[in-house]
Amino acid sequence: MLKILLALAASAAIAMPALNADKYPVGRIRTDKGEILFYLYPQTPNHQASFIKLANAHYFDSLTFNRVIKNFVAQGGCPDTPEGFAGSPYNLAPEFNDSLRHVYGAVGAGHDGNPQKLSAGCQLYIVANKNGLPRLDGNYTVYGQVIKGMDVVEAIVSVPTDSTDAPLVPITLHVDIVKMTSAQLAPYGIQVK
């Protein structure tokens, strides 16, 4: 009996590392159009931490995609007014990285054109141009990449809008963080080191 218990304990010890596999944060945005998942880049630690903090506090859950433009972006997370992003809880210093570009599906942080290029802490946008938006590189911080749900983003940027590019029917955000292993991320082209 003791040998059987020791064998079971040994096999359980061998299986434990799989249960404790490293997991990485992925932003999840649920809308009435569907779900969007995006990998949060560790190369932009302050933007990553800010997004996680606000998502865990359910900050985004009363907000919308308030500016949507086909072949450009789906933008939301805080009010976009003529005065700037007055509703943002704080600003973040830019975290530009030459390896993180405004490609199709890139997730970035908006700002109001301030000279320091400080990101509005709550602002996010998703690039919806299949050729990317290289003119935004070095001006806005990219901190994530959509891995699932670009069809949802395309549906969002295709809705009827008013003269300020706000959807006529609000597209509400329900944002949280899910954790994925490197094996779960690999099929989406995300290679975690």
| Structure confidence at residue 83 as a pLDDT band (50, 70, 90) | very low
Q: How far is CA 40 from CA 12, 49, 145, 168, 191, in A?
A: 32, 9, 7, 30, 12
pLDDT at 3: 46
Residues 150-181 have pLDDT tens digits of: 999 999 999 999 998 999 999 999 999 999 99
| Secondary structure E strands in the chain | 23-31, 34-40, 65-69, 73-76, 91-92, 106-109, 119-120, 124-127, 141-148, 174-181
CATH number, domain 22-188: 2.40.100.10
> Using CA atoms, how far apart are residues 19 and 83, in angstroms rounded to an integer?
49
Question: What average pLDDT score do residues 135-158 get?
Answer: 97
pLDDT above 70 (res 81): no
Q: What are phi and psi of 172, to 5 degrees?
A: -75, 155
CA 63 to chain centre: 15
The domain ranges of the chain are 22-188
Burial call 175-191: b when 16+ CB within 10 Å, e when fewer? beeeebeeebbeebebe
The residues that bridge with 67 in the sheet, in sequence order, are 75
Residues 3-28 have pLDDT tens digits of: 443 343 444 433 333 444 699 999 99
Please, what is the average pLDDT of the chain? 85
Question: What average pLDDT score do residues 121-128 get?
Answer: 91
CA 30 to chain centre: 12
